Structure 1
């Protein structure tokens, strides 16, 4: 009398008969553990070598490691982060909403990244606009006084109604403001050279000046020119 045929064995030594003939849910825990295949590491499917210590190893600190929020250490400059002098100034001028006349008078100097000449040209732009509005050929303080201070009982330009004492005081203060800009930012670079370094101006000071010049141009936008007889 012959016995039952030997079970078919596989590479892991598990019995095919035990897997196929045993009803679902009837096999004991020991049989299930013996017959279940060994789970493969996730790297086995991709062909890469599995490293059991990879999860506990500290990440390498390379120059390309990423900072918090996913920003790389050495990222190229974007449009919102200009690096050149002209790019930074233009970005900040646009953010502040500076009057277009300010940029128009010093646009070429900004492109050449010459802060020294950009401030000089932007300041001279105020005098040029006063000459165009009043039709005068003078310059400096004489130009400002001829346009905005009373001359033979009247003025050539009114930045307000010029009816009350307060209006007159405001216009006189506007005159002093332009004179102060000329004396502080136009005369020093006109009498010195950039190479000597005797007159230095930071980017922060230049931006504040451009904001003041923008205020002057906006007041000139609403100025009434009094026709001369």
Structure 2
């Protein structure tokens, strides 16, 4: 058995933010159950803060660091990422940044923790201020994937535009609607559309569904369409505006992640 020292609170916080970005609230409860801790149930609060307090509590128990190791290995388990290997590889790289401070690493092929005394820490002390500013937002994984490199090169216009294009494609694929832009968002997310944010039973449910739809339409009209038709010099974008736009896009991406596909027309044809 590997000898483990206790993880610092900073390490637990960084790990909690990775977990919060990976799972919805309901999925987080299931994640802790599968890791061997069924008593940990998401309380409806901010996901990463809930994960952080849960990790603190697990480390305070007997064999605390080994409880954290179980969480890490379940987070990196290959069977949690069928059809999503690229996401898993990027996530493991983030986890290994944390573990490098303890001469540990997660093996990509197995998802298991092993000792590696030759590795050196590469956490935020080696990051530029622009990288820290971006990473502190805890964006959706796809925002980091499509926008981070461009953002840290100060290419804010291109970072936002690439993320908007990727979001458009994601909604198109999940809704199975061959359209784009505001027409896609309207068709996919209207009350009769196939992507359901909630059960649409109450007036509140319907308002939320339409609100998310209108936010997606607004984002498309204000950002994606503008970016596609205007030269960069005619549409300047500073860092703060880019950060705020990406935050909105990250929020909407998580909403679409949790949406259920339901096509009433197909059911009626049966």
Q: TM-score, normalised by structure 1?
A: 0.57
Shift of the alpha carbon at 1:205? 0.5
Counterpart selection for 1:98 from 125, 136, 139:
139
Counterpart selection for 1:215 from 234, 251, 257:
251
Q: Where does the alignment leave 5 or more consecutive residues of structure 2 unmatched?
A: 1-122
Structure showing greater Rg? 1
Quote the residue 1:39 is aligned against: none
Structure 2 CA distance for aligned equivalents of residues 105 and 94 of structure 1: 13
Counterpart secondary structure, 2:234 = coil
2:200 is the alignment partner of 1:162: yes
Structure 2 CA distance for aligned equivalents of residues 110 and 204 of structure 1: 11
Contact 2:157/2:242, CA 8 A, preserved across alignment: no
Quote the residue 1:224 is aligned against: 260
Higher helix share: 2
Counterpart selection for 1:174 from 212, 218, 221:
212
Counterpart selection for 1:199 from 232, 235, 240:
235
Structure 2 CA distance for aligned equivalents of residues 204 and 181 of structure 1: 17
Structure 1 CA distance for aligned equivalents of residues 182 and 147 of structure 2: 21
Quote the residue 1:190 is aligned against: 228
Structure 1 CA distance for aligned equivalents of residues 137 and 218 of structure 2: 22
Q: Which has the higher contact order (CA 8 A, sep 6+)?
A: 1
Shift of the alpha carbon at 1:206? 0.4
Structure 2 CA distance for aligned equivalents of residues 181 and 188 of structure 1: 10
Shift of the alpha carbon at 1:111? 5.8
Q: TM-score, normalised by structure 2?
A: 0.49
Within a 5 Å distance, the mapping from 1:1-229 to structure 2 comes to: 79-80=124-125, 83=128, 88=130, 90-110=131-151, 112-150=153-191, 154-194=192-232, 197-227=233-263, 228-229=266-267
**Displaced runs of 4 or more, over 4 A:** 78-83
Cα–Cα, structure 1 residues 80 and 209, in superposed 2: closer, same or farther, change >3 Å? farther
Quote the residue 2:60 is aligned against: none
Q: Where does the alignment leave 5 or more consecutive residues of structure 1 unmatched?
A: 1-77
